Amino acid sequence: MSQSAFNAALLDPVRDRPVGLSDAAGRPAGKRFDVYRNNVTVSLRDALETGFPATARLLGEQNFNTIATGYLRANPPSSPLMMLYGGGFPRYISAIPALANLAYLRDVARLEYALRQSYHAEDAPALDPAKLATLAPEDLNAARLQFAPATQLVLTQWPIHAIRAKALGETDENPPGVAQPTLVTRPEFDPVPTPLPGDQADLLAALMSGKSLAEASTLHPGADLGGLLATLLATQALTDISVPTQDTIPQVEETQ
């Protein structure tokens, strides 16, 4: 019996029990395998519910169990480290036709996964705000920000920050009718979601892609760079700011 055949049967109750499977005493282990198969399915489903609590509440217990079971059978864990299991779950639920009227659900799940990624990211020292104050204007324009491993950005057209908070019972207020792209940081022990204005989120996305402050500001001239920097510093989203030196600036040869 191959490992792949065992794994395939483990997550699919329609498949026959693996041929030749026996217990320590050499007896057929069919019924024991069925119990084990059920326990594995329940454990993975519970892991998804733990990782996506707001998504689970928005779907309801029965719907979530059905969808989560379908996901785990199609996407078994690729690692024994379960803390980040479910990375493809947001995309999976967005492809379910019956959930087309819940278009925001995918991005709520993306936010929940970003919070989990932030929680398990490695530690990094925060940028000292005084370093910004020492830079000359021309150096600041050319500078590029370095982000903490825990920093995540979820772009969206839905008010996902408020939808998640209401689903978890953190507020009774109805979500606003505006998009809430959300910055996720970990200033202390737990990750913190912070909704951003749309133009600031687009500016941040440019900075996180490696654009300099001047380049990002040129792409998004209406965004409040000062306000965004204040938010990034307050949430300890940054680890450093790098200014190109003469050695790192490409030199253009004069033509004859």
pLDDT digits (tens, 9 = 90+) for 99-126: 999 999 999 999 999 999 999 999 999 9
Question: How far apart are alpha carbons 145 and 237 in whole angstroms?
Answer: 10
pLDDT digits (tens, 9 = 90+) for 42-80: 889 999 999 999 999 999 999 999 999 999 989 988 888
Give this prediction's pTM.
0.85
Q: Is the pLDDT of residue 86 over 60?
A: yes
Token reading at 220: 């998004």
Indicate the pLDDT class of residue 34, thresholds 50, 70 and 90. low
Indicate the pLDDT class of residue 251, thresholds 50, 70 and 90. very low
- For the chain, which domains are there? 1-102 (no CATH), 122-245 (3.90.930)
Q: Is the pLDDT of residue 28 over 60?
A: no
Indicate the pLDDT class of residue 256, thresholds 50, 70 and 90. very low
Question: How far apart are alpha carbons 19 and 96 in whole angstroms?
Answer: 34
Q: Are 162 and 171 in contact (CB under 8 A)?
A: yes
Question: What pLDDT was estimated at residue 253?
Answer: 47
Q: Are 76 and 82 in contact (CB under 8 A)?
A: no
Q: Are 206 and 219 in contact (CB under 8 A)?
A: yes
pLDDT digits (tens, 9 = 90+) for 151-198: 999 999 999 999 999 999 999 999 999 999 999 999 999 999 999 999
Q: Are 143 and 241 in contact (CB under 8 A)?
A: yes
Sort 200 into a burial class: Cβ within 10 Å, 0-12 / 13-18 / 19+: buried
